[in-house]
Chains A and B, each alone.
Chain A
Amino acid sequence: MVRVDILALRRVFADGTSIGPIDLSIADGEFVTLLGPSGAGKTTTLRMIAGFITPDSGDLLFDGQSVLSIPPRERNIGMVFQSTALFPHMTVFQNISFSLDMAGWQHKDVVARVEELASMLRIKRLLRRRVDQISGGEAQRVALARALARDPKLLLLDEPLSALDPELRERLQVEIRRIQRRLNVTTIYVTHSQEEAFAISDRIAILRDGIIVQVGDPEDIYEHPADEFVARFLGGGNVFRGTVVGSSDGTIRVSVGSAVFSVAGEAEEGEVVAFSVKPEDVVVSLEKQDGEMLQARVRSVVPQLGSYRVTLQLDAQQVVAIVRDSSLARSLRSSGDNPVWFGFAPSDAVVIPPSRPHTSTC
């Protein structure tokens, strides 16, 4: 519906915190997620796009036209908040029809449109209820229907699912994605959950301290985190930091605490590097096996879909591994204080660039 270009958008607040400069282009019909820890500036960025916060500098283009001087109500944006912000004094129908009534639609057109949206979001039976008579999940569907009612060019979703239970959240993620595809509406989604971001987005922009540190599709980001922060934040991955103690033939040896790892890569001796290893690439066993193996103690074994997530403690460092063998998992769980072995192939480890230093805390 619309192509959005965010050009060096920047805002400094009275308390000294700042957002930006932010540069991001979102293609027509694309679903982009702003991902980052709380306080990274995701919501502020979204609110600058909506027009609730005026940037100090930079520009915001919709289809190449600057919209900075256009008030929020004329930007034709749909927005959903985490709190849903449904109007408490109106019924579900009145909530959804709000923007249509404000735009002066004929009543019969309003009814047709609201019913169409209600069918799409499966909330038709709720239309006559008051908003305090519907559940949290239903409220989000209503909020979404309301945001979509007048066919917005751009949909902004600010952590819409954070307050819901996991199962419901997953169902709604799928639904949001389905509807977004069907309507082909350009969408910017804000979340702090990497899982959600990976599940739903065409592209992800990772924010830290008001700056976008990496943009890419989910696989890209997962495979090649731009820096140590991204790697750590995306979780799942084990991130190690240590000093290079030797290097040969494209392999470096990195000392992390008392342990030394072999990692594929190039670096000078004495240099501090970070590298990440995916949990599925970490091998765990009760006995020492071939290859480079280190000893650690088992901290926890948590069953999850089709596998076990095993957390090991090595000095101050935690190492996460995925184990598929249930008998091994059982043994690991009962290993108590006895050390177990773990290791990974040097080629599975990825050396990642250091993060820019922390400038401010929010």
Chain B
Amino acid sequence: MSMLTEVGVEVRRRSVLSAVVIASPILLLLIFVVYPVTYVLIAGLLYGPGSTFAETVLSPVTQRIVAFTLQQALLSTVITVAVSLPAAALLARLEFSGKGVVRAAMIVPFVLPPIVVVVGFLRMFGPYGVIDTVAMAMSGSAISVFDLSTGLTGIILAHVFYNIPLVTLMVSSSLETLPPEVEEMAELLGATTLQKWRYVILPHIRSALGASAVLTFLFCFMSFPIVLALGQGRYSTIEVQIWSAFRYFDYGQASALALLQLGVTLVLAVAYVYLSGGVANGGRSARIKTVSFRELPRSARLLVTVYAILLLILMVGPIASIVLGAIYDPVTREFSTEGFANLLRTGVGGGLTALINSVVYAGLATLSALVLGLPLAYAQLSERAGVRGVATAMTLLPLGVSSITIAYGLMRAIAVPLRLSITPWPLIVIAQTIIGLPFSARAIEVARRNIDPELLEQADILGATRLQRLFFVELPLLAPGILVGGVFAFAMAIGEMSATLFIALPQNYTLAVAIYQYLSVRKFLEAGAAALVLVVVCLVAFLVMERVSGESAGGTI
């Protein structure tokens, strides 16, 4: 009898403990995302000052901005998917050396700070950029003849550049899970290549394609720095308008727009959850059907070559221009290592503080994203549908709320009462944690799902306590997933600019913010060097991840 009661108490204590563990990340998200955002929205909508909700929604300016936001997101998504599909097929099916490096390099654009993308874009496709210089020399013109970097073209091209990795990696890793036998069977049954794609391959990758397209749409829909910098004030997305409204103290308008935005992202998030549920997580098929370049017919080789060159220009061009920008001073027309030297200098304009800040903030943000992501991932796999739903919603929430709104909310609802606005670095870490969390939680969730439940039962039956099981069995098995999630969270955190820019004081500048500062005072070498450091850090992180965990990034996103 007494033994029974003891067991009962222990069971209860254990379930209380697990409830606390699972609830803690949700609670933190409630405090640091839901509460600040709700605070700002409600205060803005109810007390203003500024336009009312009705005024905002009915204004032709708002309507035009909403229309443009949707239109450019749709265009960007369609073009991204169209450009990415061949790349995904090639990545999955073409044998070539250095595939791992390509796969790791592929993800770099996705995690680049937008401001770096803007720089690379202007230098590659902009007036007096690389292509323009060549075109000017060829046409003998003294003035710019070529500009793809500004206006709608520039915005969409930059979005395409940004999201190609996302679609390519997700779709190619889905392609890699298609058993070759299925395709061979289709061929044996007389399907033409086109029919094979139409009836076998497309249905297989449909979920991955859909999920990546929805994510692309979401990112383009929320786009801020790219539109601000390349849109030249003539083009404005909802996010840009929110930023502008905050600057003009029109909190009513900012809140109304944020609410509109939230409505759209909510729909997108639901679509994403629905679609990504169907993405096969089976891991790479043992024998993927691949062909080597030499086996292709001549016409296909030509096509692949042309496509690869165009893709290289689009993807590598901007990054190469950044590298060039790091060592070549366009003003003095000389090569210089001044940019890198600056990264080791302290004081006003020196890059060392920014470098240290970037590493420390992103490191801390990564740790917290993992520590929070772990229980969140477990909650997403909970047996209880309610817990599962809340956890999934919480994980996706940071993707769907504008970072400007979060940053302002953190400032208003957290920093001011705690007098943190003069020492805002904890807030920066929090903001960076929040944007990394969806990625870390997702990676851990995928890894957790792939653990054979019988292993855990074995641990139980062999007498391991919950904690022993966690430390000796689960965590070691989750390690690859934790690594993948950590790398993603780190890359997102170190590249974060919008919220950091909003919160940081000069002593808190990160590299991403410093790049923005350098650019605005025309310190191109310094900006280029800092951007290059970001690119290299991300590339190395993803290479290590690929090597150690054998995971490709695509299955995780």
Q: Do A and B come from one complex?
A: yes
Expressed in whole angstroms, the Cα–Cα distance for A77 and B458 within the complex equals 10
B461 smallest CB distance to A (angstroms)? 5
Q: Which of A51, A70, A87, A101 has a CB less than 8 Å from the CB of B458?
A: A87
Expressed in whole angstroms, the Cα–Cα distance for A81 and B462 within the complex equals 13
User: Does A218 interact with chain B (Cβ within 8 Å)?
Assistant: no
Q: Which residues of B contact A (CB under 8 A)?
A: 4, 7-8, 11, 452, 454-455, 457-465, 468, 472-473, 476-477, 479
Chain A facing B: main interface SS: loop
Contact, CB under 8 Å: B455 / A77: no
User: Does A91 interact with chain B (Cβ within 8 Å)?
Assistant: no
Expressed in whole angstroms, the Cα–Cα distance for A72 and B11 within the complex equals 12
Query: A77's closest neighbor in chain B, by CB?
Result: B461
Contact, CB under 8 Å: B463 / A85: no
Neighbouring B residues of A81 by C-beta, 8 Å: 454, 457-458
Given contacts A102-B464, A102-B468, A102-B472, contact A79 B458 (CB under 8 A): yes
Given contacts A85-B452, A98-B472, contact A72 B461 (CB under 8 A): yes
User: Does A73 interact with chain B (Cβ within 8 Å)?
Assistant: yes
Contact, CB under 8 Å: B457 / A102: no
Known: A52-B460, A79-B457. 15 other contacts (CB 8 A): A50-B461, A51-B460, A51-B461, A70-B7, A72-B457, A73-B464, A73-B465, A74-B463, A77-B461, A79-B458, A85-B455, A87-B455, A89-B477, A98-B472, A102-B472
Contact, CB under 8 Å: A98 / B462: yes
Give me 23 A-to-B residue pairs in the complex whose CB atoms sit less than 8 angstroms apart, sorted by A's number: A50-B461, A69-B7, A69-B11, A70-B7, A71-B460, A73-B464, A73-B465, A75-B461, A76-B463, A78-B461, A81-B457, A81-B458, A85-B452, A85-B454, A87-B455, A88-B477, A102-B462, A102-B464, A102-B465, A102-B472, A103-B463, A146-B462, A150-B462
Expressed in whole angstroms, the Cα–Cα distance for A79 and B462 within the complex equals 8
Expressed in whole angstroms, the Cα–Cα distance for A51 and B460 within the complex equals 10
User: Does A83 interact with chain B (Cβ within 8 Å)?
Assistant: yes
Q: Which of B462, B473, B477 has a CB less than 8 Å from the CB of A73?
A: B462
Query: A69's closest neighbor in chain B, by CB?
Result: B7
Contact, CB under 8 Å: A79 / B461: yes
User: Does A173 interact with chain B (Cβ within 8 Å)?
Assistant: no
User: Does A99 interact with chain B (Cβ within 8 Å)?
Assistant: yes
Contact, CB under 8 Å: A73 / B460: yes
A62 smallest CB distance to B (angstroms)? 13
B502 smallest CB distance to A (angstroms)? 43
Residues of A296-350 contacting chain B, CB below 8 A: none
Neighbouring B residues of A103 by C-beta, 8 Å: 463
Expressed in whole angstroms, the Cα–Cα distance for A83 and B458 within the complex equals 11
Which 10 pairs, one residue from A and one from B, show the smallest C-beta to C-beta distance? A99-B462, A85-B454, A72-B460, A89-B476, A102-B464, A85-B458, A79-B461, A73-B463, A73-B460, A69-B7
Q: Which residues of A contact B (CB under 8 A)?
A: 50-52, 69-79, 81, 83, 85, 87-89, 98-99, 101-103, 146-147, 149-150
Chain B facing A: main interface SS: helix
A87 smallest CB distance to B (angstroms)? 6
Neighbouring A residues of B460 by C-beta, 8 Å: 51-52, 71-73
Neighbouring B residues of A72 by C-beta, 8 Å: 457, 460-461
Contact, CB under 8 Å: B7 / A83: no
B15 smallest CB distance to A (angstroms)? 12
Expressed in whole angstroms, the Cα–Cα distance for A81 and B454 within the complex equals 8
Expressed in whole angstroms, the Cα–Cα distance for A41 and B16 within the complex equals 33
Taking each of B457, B465, B473, which has the highest tally of chain A beta carbons within 10 Å of its own beta carbon? B457
Neighbouring A residues of B462 by C-beta, 8 Å: 73, 78, 98-99, 102, 146-147, 149-150
Query: A66's closest neighbor in chain B, by CB?
Result: B4
A355 smallest CB distance to B (angstroms)? 33
B60 smallest CB distance to A (angstroms)? 54
Q: Which of A75, A76, A87 has a CB less than 8 Å from the CB of B473?
A: A87
A104 smallest CB distance to B (angstroms)? 10
Query: B452's closest neighbor in chain A, by CB?
Result: A85
Expressed in whole angstroms, the Cα–Cα distance for A81 and B461 within the complex equals 12
Neighbouring A residues of B459 by C-beta, 8 Å: 87, 98
B463 smallest CB distance to A (angstroms)? 5
Neighbouring A residues of B4 by C-beta, 8 Å: 69
Taking each of A52, A75, A87, A88, which has the highest tally of chain B beta carbons within 10 Å of its own beta carbon? A87
B9 smallest CB distance to A (angstroms)? 11
Expressed in whole angstroms, the Cα–Cα distance for A98 and B473 within the complex equals 10
Query: B475's closest neighbor in chain A, by CB?
Result: A89
Contact, CB under 8 Å: A83 / B452: yes
B383 smallest CB distance to A (angstroms)? 11
Neighbouring A residues of B473 by C-beta, 8 Å: 87
Contact, CB under 8 Å: B454 / A83: yes
Contact, CB under 8 Å: B477 / A99: no
Expressed in whole angstroms, the Cα–Cα distance for A60 and B360 within the complex equals 56
Contact, CB under 8 Å: A73 / B476: no
Neighbouring B residues of A146 by C-beta, 8 Å: 458, 462
Expressed in whole angstroms, the Cα–Cα distance for A191 and B227 within the complex equals 65
Contact, CB under 8 Å: B477 / A150: no
Expressed in whole angstroms, the Cα–Cα distance for A40 and B454 within the complex equals 20
B454 smallest CB distance to A (angstroms)? 4
Neighbouring A residues of B8 by C-beta, 8 Å: 69
Contact, CB under 8 Å: B452 / A102: no
Contact, CB under 8 Å: A102 / B461: no
Expressed in whole angstroms, the Cα–Cα distance for A103 and B463 within the complex equals 7
Expressed in whole angstroms, the Cα–Cα distance for A359 and B457 within the complex equals 31
